[in-house]
Protein backbone atom coordinates (compact mmCIF):
# COMPACT_ATOMS: atom_id res chain seq x y z
CA UNK A 1 0.00 0.00 0.00
CA UNK A 2 1.40 3.41 -0.95
CA UNK A 3 1.64 6.31 1.47
CA UNK A 4 -1.26 8.08 -0.22
CA UNK A 5 -3.43 4.97 -0.01
CA UNK A 6 -2.64 4.51 3.66
CA UNK A 7 -3.50 8.11 4.44
CA UNK A 8 -6.75 7.89 2.50
CA UNK A 9 -7.69 4.68 4.27
CA UNK A 10 -7.10 6.34 7.62
CA UNK A 11 -9.05 9.44 6.70
CA UNK A 12 -11.97 8.18 4.67
CA UNK A 13 -12.44 4.42 4.86
CA UNK A 14 -15.15 3.47 7.34
CA UNK A 15 -13.98 1.45 10.27
CA UNK A 16 -15.10 -2.13 10.50
CA UNK A 17 -18.84 -1.64 10.26
CA UNK A 18 -21.88 -3.75 9.87
CA UNK A 19 -22.48 -5.86 6.80
CA UNK A 20 -25.37 -3.56 5.92
CA UNK A 21 -23.05 -0.55 5.96
CA UNK A 22 -20.52 -2.26 3.72
CA UNK A 23 -23.29 -3.37 1.35
CA UNK A 24 -24.58 0.19 1.14
CA UNK A 25 -21.09 1.46 0.31
CA UNK A 26 -20.66 -1.19 -2.39
CA UNK A 27 -24.04 -0.33 -3.89
CA UNK A 28 -23.05 3.34 -4.12
CA UNK A 29 -19.67 2.61 -5.70
CA UNK A 30 -20.63 -0.14 -8.14
CA UNK A 31 -24.35 0.31 -8.72
CA UNK A 32 -23.84 2.08 -12.07
CA UNK A 33 -21.65 -0.74 -13.39
CA UNK A 34 -24.28 -3.33 -12.44
CA UNK A 35 -27.07 -1.35 -14.12
CA UNK A 36 -24.84 -0.89 -17.19
CA UNK A 37 -24.41 -4.67 -17.52
CA UNK A 38 -28.17 -5.19 -17.22
CA UNK A 39 -28.95 -2.49 -19.79
CA UNK A 40 -26.41 -3.90 -22.26
CA UNK A 41 -27.90 -7.39 -21.87
CA UNK A 42 -31.40 -5.98 -22.39
CA UNK A 43 -30.29 -4.09 -25.49
CA UNK A 44 -28.55 -7.15 -26.90
CA UNK A 45 -31.62 -9.32 -26.44
CA UNK A 46 -34.02 -6.69 -27.78
CA UNK A 47 -32.15 -5.27 -30.79
CA UNK A 48 -29.59 -7.95 -31.54
CA UNK A 49 -26.86 -7.11 -34.04
CA UNK A 50 -28.18 -3.61 -34.70
CA UNK A 51 -27.07 -2.80 -31.15
CA UNK A 52 -24.10 -5.14 -30.73
CA UNK A 53 -22.71 -4.67 -34.24
CA UNK A 54 -19.15 -3.30 -34.50
CA UNK A 55 -20.28 -0.11 -36.22
CA UNK A 56 -22.77 0.77 -33.51
CA UNK A 57 -20.36 -0.08 -30.71
CA UNK A 58 -17.69 2.12 -32.32
CA UNK A 59 -20.22 4.98 -32.52
CA UNK A 60 -21.07 4.58 -28.82
CA UNK A 61 -17.39 4.52 -27.87
CA UNK A 62 -16.58 7.63 -29.93
CA UNK A 63 -19.48 9.61 -28.48
CA UNK A 64 -18.64 8.43 -24.96
CA UNK A 65 -14.96 9.37 -25.32
CA UNK A 66 -15.71 13.10 -25.50
CA UNK A 67 -18.04 12.95 -22.51
CA UNK A 68 -15.50 10.85 -20.60
CA UNK A 69 -12.89 13.60 -20.92
CA UNK A 70 -15.30 16.22 -19.60
CA UNK A 71 -16.63 13.95 -16.85
CA UNK A 72 -13.10 13.04 -15.72
CA UNK A 73 -12.37 16.68 -15.00
CA UNK A 74 -15.81 17.09 -13.43
CA UNK A 75 -15.07 14.17 -11.09
CA UNK A 76 -12.07 16.00 -9.65
CA UNK A 77 -14.14 19.16 -9.21
CA UNK A 78 -17.06 17.43 -7.50
CA UNK A 79 -14.77 15.35 -5.29
CA UNK A 80 -13.19 18.59 -4.10
CA UNK A 81 -16.62 19.94 -3.14
CA UNK A 82 -17.26 22.12 -6.18
CA UNK A 83 -19.22 22.17 -9.42
CA UNK A 84 -18.29 23.37 -12.92
CA UNK A 85 -21.14 24.58 -15.10
CA UNK A 86 -18.82 26.10 -17.70
CA UNK A 87 -17.44 22.94 -19.32
CA UNK A 88 -20.03 22.74 -22.12
CA UNK A 89 -19.33 26.29 -23.24
CA UNK A 90 -15.57 25.80 -22.79
CA UNK A 91 -15.81 22.75 -25.05
CA UNK A 92 -17.59 24.82 -27.72
CA UNK A 93 -15.09 27.66 -27.44
CA UNK A 94 -12.23 25.20 -27.73
CA UNK A 95 -13.69 23.71 -30.91
CA UNK A 96 -14.11 27.13 -32.50
CA UNK A 97 -10.59 28.22 -31.50
CA UNK A 98 -9.13 24.93 -32.76
CA UNK A 99 -10.69 25.50 -36.17
CA UNK A 100 -9.65 29.17 -36.12
CA UNK A 101 -6.11 28.32 -35.04
CA UNK A 102 -5.71 25.65 -37.71
CA UNK A 103 -4.49 28.40 -40.06
CA UNK A 104 -1.23 28.15 -38.11
CA UNK A 105 -1.07 24.39 -38.39
CA UNK A 106 -1.70 21.64 -35.86
CA UNK A 107 0.28 23.44 -33.16
CA UNK A 108 -1.95 26.50 -33.40
CA UNK A 109 -5.10 24.38 -33.52
CA UNK A 110 -4.12 22.65 -30.28
CA UNK A 111 -2.21 25.23 -28.26
CA UNK A 112 -4.54 28.20 -28.81
CA UNK A 113 -7.72 26.56 -27.46
CA UNK A 114 -5.94 24.78 -24.60
CA UNK A 115 -4.23 28.00 -23.50
CA UNK A 116 -7.54 29.91 -23.48
CA UNK A 117 -9.37 27.06 -21.72
CA UNK A 118 -6.61 26.75 -19.13
CA UNK A 119 -6.89 30.49 -18.46
CA UNK A 120 -10.66 30.18 -17.96
CA UNK A 121 -10.08 27.33 -15.51
CA UNK A 122 -7.48 29.41 -13.68
CA UNK A 123 -9.95 32.28 -13.29
CA UNK A 124 -12.59 29.86 -12.00
CA UNK A 125 -10.13 28.40 -9.52
CA UNK A 126 -8.86 31.71 -8.23
CA UNK A 127 -12.34 33.14 -7.71
CA UNK A 128 -13.56 29.96 -6.01
CA UNK A 129 -10.44 28.90 -4.14
CA UNK A 130 -8.93 32.21 -3.07
CA UNK A 131 -11.80 34.71 -3.30
CA UNK A 132 -14.16 32.05 -1.86
CA UNK A 133 -17.01 32.84 -4.24
CA UNK A 134 -19.73 30.26 -4.82
CA UNK A 135 -18.76 27.73 -7.54
CA UNK A 136 -22.27 27.81 -9.00
CA UNK A 137 -22.15 31.58 -9.57
CA UNK A 138 -18.57 31.72 -10.83
CA UNK A 139 -18.89 28.87 -13.32
CA UNK A 140 -22.29 30.11 -14.49
CA UNK A 141 -20.60 33.41 -15.31
CA UNK A 142 -17.80 31.70 -17.23
CA UNK A 143 -20.39 29.54 -19.00
CA UNK A 144 -21.90 32.73 -20.41
CA UNK A 145 -18.48 34.26 -21.10
CA UNK A 146 -17.11 31.23 -22.97
CA UNK A 147 -20.25 30.74 -25.05
CA UNK A 148 -20.34 34.44 -25.89
CA UNK A 149 -16.69 34.41 -26.89
CA UNK A 150 -17.29 31.37 -29.10
CA UNK A 151 -20.05 33.24 -30.93
CA UNK A 152 -17.93 36.38 -31.16
CA UNK A 153 -15.00 34.53 -32.75
CA UNK A 154 -17.37 32.87 -35.22
CA UNK A 155 -19.13 36.17 -35.99
CA UNK A 156 -22.39 35.22 -34.31
CA UNK A 157 -22.16 31.73 -35.78
CA UNK A 158 -22.13 33.01 -39.36
CA UNK A 159 -18.48 32.09 -39.91
CA UNK A 160 -17.73 28.37 -39.72
CA UNK A 161 -14.00 27.77 -39.70
CA UNK A 162 -12.89 24.62 -41.51
CA UNK A 163 -9.86 22.58 -40.52
CA UNK A 164 -7.90 21.49 -43.62
CA UNK A 165 -8.30 17.79 -44.39
CA UNK A 166 -4.54 17.35 -44.81
CA UNK A 167 -3.75 18.75 -41.35
CA UNK A 168 -2.24 16.25 -38.91
CA UNK A 169 -4.90 17.12 -36.35
CA UNK A 170 -7.71 16.21 -38.75
CA UNK A 171 -6.09 12.90 -39.59
CA UNK A 172 -5.69 12.13 -35.88
CA UNK A 173 -9.32 13.00 -35.12
CA UNK A 174 -10.63 10.80 -37.93
CA UNK A 175 -8.15 7.93 -37.68
CA UNK A 176 -8.63 4.57 -36.00
CA UNK A 177 -6.36 1.84 -34.68
CA UNK A 178 -7.63 -1.74 -34.98
CA UNK A 179 -11.12 -0.36 -35.50
CA UNK A 180 -10.99 1.90 -32.44
CA UNK A 181 -11.09 5.65 -33.03
CA UNK A 182 -7.98 7.55 -31.98
CA UNK A 183 -10.10 9.99 -29.87
CA UNK A 184 -11.28 6.96 -27.90
CA UNK A 185 -7.69 5.87 -27.27
CA UNK A 186 -6.71 9.40 -26.23
CA UNK A 187 -9.66 9.61 -23.83
CA UNK A 188 -8.77 6.24 -22.29
CA UNK A 189 -5.12 7.27 -21.90
CA UNK A 190 -6.14 10.51 -20.17
CA UNK A 191 -8.61 8.61 -18.00
CA UNK A 192 -5.92 6.12 -16.96
CA UNK A 193 -3.48 8.91 -16.13
CA UNK A 194 -6.17 10.70 -14.11
CA UNK A 195 -6.85 7.47 -12.23
CA UNK A 196 -3.20 7.21 -11.25
CA UNK A 197 -3.17 10.83 -10.10
CA UNK A 198 -6.36 10.46 -8.08
CA UNK A 199 -5.58 7.11 -6.47
CA UNK A 200 -1.79 6.98 -6.29
CA UNK A 201 -0.60 10.49 -5.48
CA UNK A 202 -0.72 12.86 -2.54
CA UNK A 203 -2.61 15.36 -4.71
CA UNK A 204 -5.40 12.82 -5.19
CA UNK A 205 -5.68 12.35 -1.42
CA UNK A 206 -5.88 16.10 -0.99
CA UNK A 207 -8.69 16.34 -3.56
CA UNK A 208 -10.75 13.94 -1.44
CA UNK A 209 -9.83 15.86 1.72
CA UNK A 210 -10.85 19.20 0.23
CA UNK A 211 -14.36 17.85 -0.37
CA UNK A 212 -14.97 16.79 3.21
CA UNK A 213 -16.88 19.34 5.30
CA UNK A 214 -16.38 22.13 2.75
CA UNK A 215 -12.63 21.72 3.26
CA UNK A 216 -12.65 23.02 6.84
CA UNK A 217 -11.15 19.81 8.25
CA UNK A 218 -8.51 19.79 5.53
CA UNK A 219 -7.58 23.40 6.29
CA UNK A 220 -7.24 22.56 9.97
CA UNK A 221 -4.87 19.77 8.93
CA UNK A 222 -2.78 22.35 7.09
CA UNK A 223 -3.70 21.31 3.54
CA UNK A 224 -3.66 24.06 0.86
CA UNK A 225 -7.35 23.77 -0.02
CA UNK A 226 -7.42 26.94 -2.14
CA UNK A 227 -4.48 25.75 -4.22
CA UNK A 228 -6.11 22.34 -4.68
CA UNK A 229 -9.32 23.90 -5.96
CA UNK A 230 -7.42 26.11 -8.39
CA UNK A 231 -5.76 23.02 -9.83
CA UNK A 232 -8.94 20.97 -10.20
CA UNK A 233 -10.73 23.78 -12.04
CA UNK A 234 -7.78 24.25 -14.38
CA UNK A 235 -7.80 20.49 -14.99
CA UNK A 236 -11.55 20.50 -15.66
CA UNK A 237 -11.29 23.30 -18.22
CA UNK A 238 -8.26 21.73 -19.93
CA UNK A 239 -10.02 18.38 -20.33
CA UNK A 240 -13.15 20.08 -21.66
CA UNK A 241 -10.87 21.98 -24.03
CA UNK A 242 -9.21 18.76 -25.16
CA UNK A 243 -12.63 17.26 -25.86
CA UNK A 244 -13.48 20.31 -27.95
CA UNK A 245 -10.25 20.01 -29.93
CA UNK A 246 -10.90 16.32 -30.65
CA UNK A 247 -14.49 16.96 -31.74
CA UNK A 248 -13.30 19.75 -34.04
CA UNK A 249 -10.64 17.40 -35.44
CA UNK A 250 -13.19 14.66 -36.03
CA UNK A 251 -15.72 16.98 -37.74
CA UNK A 252 -13.04 19.21 -39.36
CA UNK A 253 -14.88 22.32 -38.14
CA UNK A 254 -15.78 24.33 -35.05
CA UNK A 255 -19.34 25.32 -34.14
CA UNK A 256 -20.26 27.69 -31.29
CA UNK A 257 -23.42 25.70 -30.55
CA UNK A 258 -21.39 22.60 -29.77
CA UNK A 259 -21.59 21.17 -26.25
CA UNK A 260 -24.92 22.65 -25.22
CA UNK A 261 -26.06 20.77 -22.12
CA UNK A 262 -22.80 18.81 -21.95
CA UNK A 263 -22.08 20.21 -18.48
CA UNK A 264 -25.31 18.70 -17.15
CA UNK A 265 -24.59 15.41 -18.89
CA UNK A 266 -21.13 15.29 -17.30
CA UNK A 267 -22.52 16.04 -13.84
CA UNK A 268 -25.16 13.34 -14.32
CA UNK A 269 -22.52 10.79 -15.35
CA UNK A 270 -20.36 11.59 -12.32
CA UNK A 271 -23.25 11.42 -9.86
CA UNK A 272 -24.75 8.29 -11.44
CA UNK A 273 -21.29 6.76 -11.05
CA UNK A 274 -21.54 7.13 -7.29
CA UNK A 275 -19.63 10.35 -6.59
CA UNK A 276 -21.39 12.38 -3.93
CA UNK A 277 -22.43 15.89 -4.97
CA UNK A 278 -21.29 17.07 -1.54
CA UNK A 279 -17.77 15.91 -2.37
CA UNK A 280 -15.22 13.76 -0.60
CA UNK A 281 -16.38 10.35 -1.86
CA UNK A 282 -16.45 8.77 -5.30
CA UNK A 283 -14.29 7.21 -7.99
CA UNK A 284 -13.27 7.59 -11.61
CA UNK A 285 -14.30 3.99 -12.26
CA UNK A 286 -17.83 4.92 -11.30
CA UNK A 287 -17.66 7.92 -13.62
CA UNK A 288 -16.67 5.67 -16.52
CA UNK A 289 -19.65 3.41 -15.77
CA UNK A 290 -21.93 6.47 -15.58
CA UNK A 291 -20.70 7.79 -18.94
CA UNK A 292 -21.20 4.44 -20.66
CA UNK A 293 -24.60 3.97 -19.05
CA UNK A 294 -25.86 7.32 -20.34
CA UNK A 295 -24.51 6.73 -23.85
CA UNK A 296 -25.87 3.18 -24.06
CA UNK A 297 -29.31 4.35 -22.95
CA UNK A 298 -29.24 7.17 -25.51
CA UNK A 299 -28.26 4.69 -28.19
CA UNK A 300 -31.06 2.32 -27.22
CA UNK A 301 -33.56 5.18 -27.46
CA UNK A 302 -32.25 5.87 -30.96
CA UNK A 303 -32.62 2.16 -31.75
CA UNK A 304 -36.33 2.37 -30.98
CA UNK A 305 -36.69 4.94 -33.75
CA UNK A 306 -40.16 6.13 -32.79
CA UNK A 307 -38.90 8.15 -29.81
CA UNK A 308 -37.48 11.65 -30.19
CA UNK A 309 -34.08 12.68 -28.86
CA UNK A 310 -35.88 14.60 -26.12
CA UNK A 311 -36.49 11.28 -24.39
CA UNK A 312 -32.74 10.99 -23.88
CA UNK A 313 -32.89 14.01 -21.59
CA UNK A 314 -35.99 12.67 -19.86
CA UNK A 315 -34.25 9.37 -19.13
CA UNK A 316 -31.02 11.06 -18.03
CA UNK A 317 -32.90 13.36 -15.68
CA UNK A 318 -34.91 10.49 -14.24
CA UNK A 319 -31.75 8.47 -13.65
CA UNK A 320 -30.09 11.41 -11.92
CA UNK A 321 -33.02 11.98 -9.55
CA UNK A 322 -33.19 8.28 -8.68
CA UNK A 323 -29.44 8.10 -8.04
CA UNK A 324 -29.45 11.17 -5.79
CA UNK A 325 -32.34 9.70 -3.81
CA UNK A 326 -30.50 6.40 -3.44
CA UNK A 327 -27.32 8.22 -2.40
CA UNK A 328 -29.22 10.13 0.27
CA UNK A 329 -30.76 6.91 1.58
CA UNK A 330 -27.38 5.15 1.66
CA UNK A 331 -25.79 8.10 3.44
CA UNK A 332 -28.48 8.03 6.13
CA UNK A 333 -27.98 4.30 6.55
CA UNK A 334 -24.22 4.71 6.98
CA UNK A 335 -24.77 7.30 9.72
CA UNK A 336 -27.10 5.00 11.65
Average pLDDT, the chain: 83
Give residue 325's pLDDT.
Answer: 72
Contact assessment for residue 95 and residue 241, using Cβ atoms and an 8 Å cutoff: no
Q: For the ranges 6-10, 218-222, 316-320, which has the lowest average pLDDT?
A: 6-10
| Residue of 249 and 24 predicted with greater confidence | 249
| Residue of 200 and 217 predicted with greater confidence | 200
What whole-number distance in Å separates Cα of residue 294 and Cα of residue 319?
Answer: 9
Report, as an integer, the average pLDDT of 187-209: 92
Give residue 137's pLDDT.
Answer: 93
227: left (phi over 0), alpha (psi -120 to 50) or beta: alpha
Q: Which fold has domain 31-335?
A: ABC transporter involved in vitamin B12 uptake, BtuC (1.10.3470)
In degrees, rounded to 5, the angle at the alpha carbon of residue 160 between the alpha carbons of residues 156 and 164 is 155
**R_g of the chain computed on alpha carbons:** 20
Give residue 14's pLDDT.
Answer: 43
- The pTM assigned to this predicted structure is 0.86
* DSSP letter string, 21-72: HHHHHHHHHHHHHHHHHHHHHHHHHHHTHHHHSHHHHHHHHHHHHHHHHHHH
Residue 169's nearest CA partner among 70, 117, 99 is 99
Model confidence pLDDT, tens digit, residues 221-252: 777 888 899 999 999 999 999 999 999 999 88
Maximum Cα–Cα distance across the chain: 62
Give residue 29's pLDDT.
Answer: 66
Bridge partners (DSSP) listed for residue 176: 181
Give residue 257's pLDDT.
Answer: 86
Give residue 1's pLDDT.
Answer: 42
pLDDT at 140 over 60: yes
Residue 309's nearest CA partner among 300, 320, 321 is 300
Report, as an integer, the average pLDDT of 326-330: 65
Contact assessment for residue 118 and residue 241, using Cβ atoms and an 8 Å cutoff: yes
Contact assessment for residue 194 and residue 72, using Cβ atoms and an 8 Å cutoff: yes
Give residue 111's pLDDT.
Answer: 95
Report, as an integer, the average pLDDT of 2-9: 43
SS (H, E, C) 118-161: HHHHHHHHHHHHHCCCCHHHHHHHHHHHHHHHHHHHCCCCCCCE
Contact assessment for residue 103 and residue 112, using Cβ atoms and an 8 Å cutoff: no
Domain boundaries, the chain: 31-335
Q: For the ranges 16-25, 96-105, 297-306, 326-335, which has the lowest average pLDDT?
A: 16-25
Residue 280's nearest CA partner among 233, 227, 218 is 218
Of the CA atoms within 13 Å of residue 8, those in its CB half-sphere come to 22
pLDDT at 52 over 70: yes
pLDDT at 10 over 60: no
Amino acid sequence: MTTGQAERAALFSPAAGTGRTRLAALARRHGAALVLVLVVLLGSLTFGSSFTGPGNLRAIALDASYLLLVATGMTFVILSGGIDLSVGSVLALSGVLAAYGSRWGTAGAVLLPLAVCGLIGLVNGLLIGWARLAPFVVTLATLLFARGLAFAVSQEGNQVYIIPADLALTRIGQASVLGVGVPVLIALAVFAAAGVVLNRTRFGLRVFAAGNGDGHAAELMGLPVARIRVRVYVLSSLLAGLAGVLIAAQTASGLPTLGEGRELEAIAAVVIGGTLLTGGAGSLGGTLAGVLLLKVIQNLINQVGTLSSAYQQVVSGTFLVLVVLVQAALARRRRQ
